[in-house]
Each structure stands twice: as C-alpha cells, then as structure tokens.
Amino acid sequence: MKRFDTELLLVFDEIYKTRNVTRAAENLGLPQSTVSLCLGKLREHFNDRLFSRTANGMEPTPRAANAIADVRLALQAIQHALLDEPLFDPGASTREFRICMTDISEIVLLPRLLNYLSGHGPGIQVEISKISSDSPLELADGRVDLAVGFMPHLEGGFYQQKLFDQHFVCLVSDRHPRVRDSLTLEALQREGHVQVRTSGTGHAIVDKVLAREGVKRRVVLQLPSFLGVARIVAQTGLLAIVPHRYAAAMADGEAVRLLPVPVELPSFQVKQHWHERYHADASNRWLRQVFASLFSQQAGE
C-alpha cells in the first residue's frame, strides 16, 4: 500500500459510475490502455476482480460495492486537502493562539487585541510568552504562532511584516525637582536612571548609541522588564529612556511626562514574525491580518 497510486481511486470511481472502461477513459482524459492497466493494478491490490463483464456492462462485485463509499470519501479528502482552501471562522472557533511579545506590547497592544477578539472571536483564547532567544525555534516548531516585537537577527525560513515605527523618549516625573520642560545633555548624565534589559524592544540601540557618543548614564536601578518603570519614575527622581508608545500609554495613568532625549537615537521597527511552515495556515493568516489591521495604521506615530 506504500506504493498505491491515488489515481487508481479515480479510475475505480469512474468505472463504477460508467460501468464501462472506454467511457471511463474518455471521462478521465486517459488512453483506454492506461485505464485497463489501472484496473489490473486495482484487482491486484484488492485481490478481487472488482468489475465483471455482463450484458449490462462492467458490473461491480460485492467487494467493489462494499469499497465504493470509502473510495469516494478518500477522494473527497484528497480533493479538500489539495484543492480547497481551508477556512477559519473566528466567530465559531475555540482555538488558542500562542503569541510571544515584549512586556511593552502587553501593555500597549494586548488590550486592544483582546477587545477586538471579544467582539469577533469570543471563543478564542490567547497565551502570551516573552520574546527570547528561544523564540525562533518556538515559531519553527509550532509552539508559538506569532512573535511581535524587534527581532533583527532572524535567519532564513521566516516571514515578517512591519506594524509600526518606534522611537525613544525620556520619561520623567511630573514632580521632578530639577528636570521640568526640557532635558539637557548635562542633566541626562547627572540624573539617576532606570535601565531595562529585555529582548525584543530595540533597547540595545540606546546603549550602543550612547556609548558611541561618549554619553554616560548614571544607572541606579536595572530591571528585567518595563512593567514597573513608570510607577518608579513617577515616585522618584529617576529618569528612564523608553519607547514612545510605552511612555504615552503610561502618561495616561501615572504622574510622568515625556521629554525628547538630547541625543539623536535611531528609531526601530516593530514587526510581526512567523515561520514559513505556517504561512498558508488559515487561522495563522487570520491572526496576522488582525494584527495588521489593528496596529499597522498607527505606523510612524
């Protein structure tokens, strides 16, 4: 059965319908000799004549009559797999999507995504993990469906789509005793800083550019994530250089202000990333379209 040619199933079905080898060959667009050869192979596989010549044509044997339903189901399954594009109905789905993203994306993007899902895919579940050095492997083997963030060093086999540009600002307390409406280079180096070390945010750009320009930050506190940065800045005299979207979101709920950084820092692109194995998957494609429609319109803000 390892060498069974699926074309034989088409021949089986057509002979069953027409009761005639010649007509079956015409309907299939094959030479009669090819159909006769296929019938011989079918008889060998089934160990049965399958069709016998009678005055009424090629009548199926009991073995063929018993097999025809399964043969047609098999043909339908093959046609569905090869010809029909699978559909994904988010409104009826209970699928769990696994997305890796930064903590900034959790704060800035995730609420909007969840609000969208509540109206368009109420049965859909989302599991979030952090972008890390393991993320490419997790995307490749299907443990993660989508990665959203800054991943500049992906190797071959991955697709990516830009969602928006991100630039850096300095977050400072509204009640800071020395820094008010602007931030000088001298103040940037004098004041204490909160520094965040996490992957997927483009934050390594800050360290590289400041080192290249000879600008030294006085780092007082290092954190593994951005989740507590705004609250700490609001209640201390520390500064934090952070991505603009995070700062803007935090300014709505914390006593902080956004100030331009007195050093020219490059912007970076936040993208969604997926592996080529799942490029045509209907549910994965739907998820990517949702992210694009929700967030790519904000590019350049």
- Residue 8: C-alpha distances to residues 2, 34, 41, 42, 43 (Å): 13, 10, 8, 7, 11
* Res. 301: pLDDT tops 60: no
Comparing 199 with 110, the larger pLDDT belongs to: 110
Q: Check whether 175 has a pLDDT greater than 90.
A: yes
Distance CA(275)–CA(141), nearest Å, equals 9
Give the pLDDT band (50/70/90) at residue 21: very high
pLDDT in tens, 202-242: 677 898 999 999 999 999 999 988 989 999 999 999 999 99
Enclosing H/E stretch for 59: strand 57-60
The number of beta carbons lying within 10 Å of the beta carbon of residue 192 is 13
Q: What is the pLDDT of residues 62-92, one digit of tens each?
A: 999 999 999 988 888 877 777 656 678 999 9
Helices (H), 94-149: 103-108, 110-120, 135-140
More confident residue, 75 or 168: 168
| CA 55, chain centre distance (Å) | 61
pLDDT the model gives residue 216: 93
Which pLDDT score is estimated for 83?
62
Percentage of residues in the chain having pLDDT higher than 70: 94
pLDDT given at position 7: 84
What are the pLDDT digits (tens) for 120-166? Answer: 999 999 999 999 889 999 998 889 999 998 887 787 889 999 999 99
pLDDT surpasses 70 at 37: yes
**What are the structural domains of the chain?**
7-82 (1.10.10.10), 96-165+268-298 (3.40.190.10), 168-259 (3.40.190.10)
Q: Which pair of tokens denotes residue 92?
A: 């009826």
Q: What is the mean pLDDT of residues 174-192?
A: 95
Mean pLDDT value of segment 234-254: 95
DSSP class of residue 71 equals H
| Residue 140 tokens, joined | 């490749």
pLDDT bracket for residue 200 (50, 70, 90): low
Residue 40 has pLDDT above 90, yes or no: yes
Contact call for residues 139 and 147 (beta carbons, < 8 A): yes
CB atoms within 10 A of CB 242: 27
